[in-house]
Amino acid sequence: MKLYLVRHGETAWNKLKKVQGHSDISLNEYGRYLARETAKGLKNVIFDAAYTSPLMRAKETAELILAGRKVPIYEDIRIQEMGFGVSEGMCCRGENRDPGSDEFNKLFTDTKHYKVPEGGESIRQLEDRIQTFFQELFTRKEYSNKTLLISTHGAALTAMLNLIKGEEDIAKFWGNGVPANCSVTEVKVQDGRAEILEEGRVYY
């Protein structure tokens, strides 16, 4: 099995440095451009199926990458973004940072001491649902020789990469930083074991 793990294209909230989480924010025009450029970069990859977060920014990214192809796209809530509860919509960086954003930013600067906002998810909760998704996917015999597109989000994609790498230390969660919009990671899965072949490639 071959997987292409993709983070969604840019959104207006990405540009404004706002916390998205489960908030259903669409791609902006630049985000659509990134997805179309990624489609060009992956034009020679024959995809058999795609899995996407149900959030529209990830769904549209998958649809744009696969435009013109007859590839089934399945939604799976387990690969949607990490939930940030009451912090969603907060501007967390830049000159217009909202009050309380310093505490939220521990997610990136001091992950070990990040406190889950009310209504949000912990990193372990995120990893647990990603793990169940992977376990189910990796054992599906009909996909053993297939190539799949997985369209997801920054924290969710990072959790996927850490699970593949066996990185369990929450303090090292963002080992390579937040994945770039529309970055692509190629993964080979054999006998239930995943191996990263290329990480974080961009086609724009």
Q: Can 103 be counted among the known catalytic residues? A: no
Of the listed 60, 81, 88, 121, which one is catalytic?
81
Q: How far is CA 8 from CA 18, 54, 59, 128, 151, in A?
A: 15, 12, 8, 21, 6
Whether the Cβ atoms of residue 134 and residue 50 lie closer than 8 Å to each other: no
Burial class, 139, CB count within 10 angstroms (exposed 0-12 / middle 13-18 / buried 19+): exposed
| Residue 40, φ and ψ in degrees, nearest 5 | -65, -40
The single residue listed with the structure tokens 């990859």 is 45
What is the residue type of 70? K
Q: Can 81 be counted among the known catalytic residues? A: yes
Whether the Cβ atoms of residue 144 and residue 136 lie closer than 8 Å to each other: no
List, by residue number, the catalytic residues.
8, 81
